[in-house]
Amino acid sequence: MTAELAITMGTTNTAIYVAGNGIVLYEPTAIAYFGDPKLGKVRAVGKEAVALLGRSSDNTSVIYPITDGYITNPEACKDMLSEFLKKLFTPKLFGYKIKAIVGLPIGITIEERRIYDDIFAKIGLNEIIAVENIYLTAVGLNLPIHSHKMHFVVNIGGGITEISAISSSDIVKGCSISIGGNMMDKAVRDYVLGKFDFKLSLRTISKIKETIGSLYSNDTSCMTVTGVDLARRVPGELRIKATDIMEAIMPYYLRIADGVESVIKSVSPDVGFDLISGGLHFAGGGSNVLGLNKLMSERFSVPINVHADGEFSAIYGAGKLLSDVVLLNEILTKH
């Protein structure tokens, strides 16, 4: 028998889809070890590993094996994926042939591809079908990428933002830029530190962005958060405004807009009607920020489609390709 899976690994989250069951795992791309990570003594993975940050002894190491969208610690990545599979399946599964569609970052080199292949082979995947994440995103958004119409897709992830123009199941033009939610979190942390002399954890900053994150200059939302008052060197509370978050993250969204503009300018003027009629499609966790639609529509004067649950688009797309062999083959022939 053959078990069919789909796997996408991002800087922030890893997702696994099982044919017939849907998304069965969506957890942080993280692993915690007892002692020296080289000894391979895994303590926890995913959300359990992240929960140990700042709440465990110095004998525990928490590692994020993917940086800026690319695997930077292959051994930790292998251990993490292996543990994720153990959480999901009984040992019987590993007697089966396992077929998996896996997502890869756009523009990956041959050497980087070998790292992925080696990891997937070591965790027991027998048949690996690699597809760029931006393809998977487009499929997950239900865009008819097999048509001759040009579709412009932007996925703002945790570590990178991928931008592509896709037509006839082919990436006509595309690029990735090293801007994502993690970089913006650190920008907010530094902004608050510099303006208020107040230190926030990245976990708290993530909650702030989810609650009052905004690109509107007139947003009056605010919230009270806890952290460390460095002036008094004691724990304290700070009332932070949405406009503070905007000032910290706006430069990054403007750089994303620059990347989008460069892709648009690189395609033929003949596809102008496709852009005017279909607009830009935004996905990924970073697309959830309030005001993105207004910012991008003012910049490009075309329809802006910010997709709900866009952070799941790539894994949904991979899941769809498990059952759509025709579309999968169309995509693979373009490689």
- Contact present, 6 and 321 (Cβ < 8 Å): yes
Q: pTM for the whole thing?
A: 0.92
What mean pLDDT is reported for the chain? 92
Above 80 in pLDDT, residue 55?
A: no
Above 80 in pLDDT, residue 13?
A: yes
Q: 2-136+315-333, superfamily in CATH?
A: ATPase, nucleotide binding domain (3.30.420.40)
Residue range 181-247 forms a domain whose CATH class is: alpha beta
Closest CA relative to residue 69, chosen from 124, 30, 108, 21:
108
Please count the other Cβ atoms lying within 10 Å of the Cβ belonging to residue 168. 13
pLDDT value at residue 271:
87
Domains 2-136+315-333 and 181-247 share a fold: no
Which tokens go with 47?
A: 């959300």
Spans of all domains in the chain: 2-136+315-333, 144-179+251-308, 181-247
Q: For residues 92 and 192, which has the higher predicted lDDT (pLDDT)?
A: 192
Q: Which neighbouring-strand residues pair with 34?
A: 60
Among the four given CATH numbers 3.30.420.40, 3.40.50.720, 1.10.357.10, 3.40.50.2300, the one describing domain 144-179+251-308: 3.30.420.40
When mean pLDDT is compared across 117-126, 159-168, 190-199, 292-301, the lowest value belongs to 117-126
60 falls in which pLDDT band (50, 70, 90)?
A: confident
